[in-house]
Amino acid sequence: ECQRALDINPKQSYIYVIRRMVFVRMGKPRLALAAAQKGVEAGPEDPWCHFALSGEYARSQQDDKALAAINRAIELAPPLRTSNRFYAERGPILLRLGREEAALADFHKAIELAPHYPYTYKRRAALHFRLGRYDKALADLEESLKLEPNDPSCVYWIDPGSVAKCSDEEFREGIFRLA
């Protein structure tokens, strides 16, 4: 279906984004990357095409390219309509590049844009834990559980072995309460 739509109008950039998702689900990373690149060619001003390209670069461990693509997506997105996902997904890229405080700022921005999205609280909690900010990590995990009370996965966002070795007894007790 995607190919038929592209045969009719090859400038439909969103079709390439859909095609990329199909290739990802099929386990074909090279084709997914090629589809994302064609999406950017067809829609150079479409932030979602740059976001998709960033995802493919991140998936293939090309973090500098992933960061450039997602930065372009953020630049192109209208300020009031910027998706929290752009910031939530840029955070892990920044982490892999060793830019922890920048990643933390992105998680804050993502939560500001969509405070009812528990996934970002979990990511931010893991980073707070990594930075030794155990009270903030626990608060974020508690918030994610409030937002999704039937999803106890928040306790697994921080490695259980790391929790067991954590010197902060209040944090360890808090995690066990959440579980």
Residues of the chain by 3-state class (helix, strand, coil), percent to 5: 80, 0, 20
Question: pLDDT band at 110, cuts 50/70/90?
Answer: very high
Question: pLDDT band at 7, cuts 50/70/90?
Answer: low
Nearest C-alpha neighbor of 95 from the set 143, 130, 60: 130
Does the pLDDT at position 157 exceed 80?
yes
Give the chain's mean pLDDT.
91
Question: pLDDT band at 14, cuts 50/70/90?
Answer: confident
Q: What is the pLDDT of residue 4?
A: 62
Percent of the chain topping pLDDT 90? 73
Answer yes or no: are the C-beta atoms of 162 and 133 closer than 8 Å: no
Q: What is the pLDDT of residue 109?
A: 94
Question: pLDDT band at 3, cuts 50/70/90?
Answer: low
Percent of the chain topping pLDDT 70? 92
CA distance 116 to 157: 18
Mean pLDDT of 136-156: 92
CA distance 72 to 95: 18
CA distance 61 to 65: 9
Does the pLDDT at position 33 exceed 80?
yes
**Alpha-carbon dihedral sign for residues 10, 15, 16, 22:** negative
Mean pLDDT of 117-134: 95
Does the pLDDT at position 92 exceed 70?
yes
Question: pLDDT band at 151, cuts 50/70/90?
Answer: confident
Q: What is the pLDDT of residue 155?
A: 82
Query: Is the whole-model pTM more than 0.95?
Result: no
CA distance 75 to 174: 39
* Helices and strands (DSSP H and E) totals, the chain: 11, 0
Answer yes or no: are the C-beta atoms of 177 and 144 closer than 8 Å: no
**Tokens 């937002």, residue located:** 147
Mean pLDDT of 56-69: 97
Of 20-24, 60-64, 150-154, where does mean pLDDT reach its minimum?
150-154
**Alpha-carbon dihedral sign for residues 15, 27, 121, 70:** negative
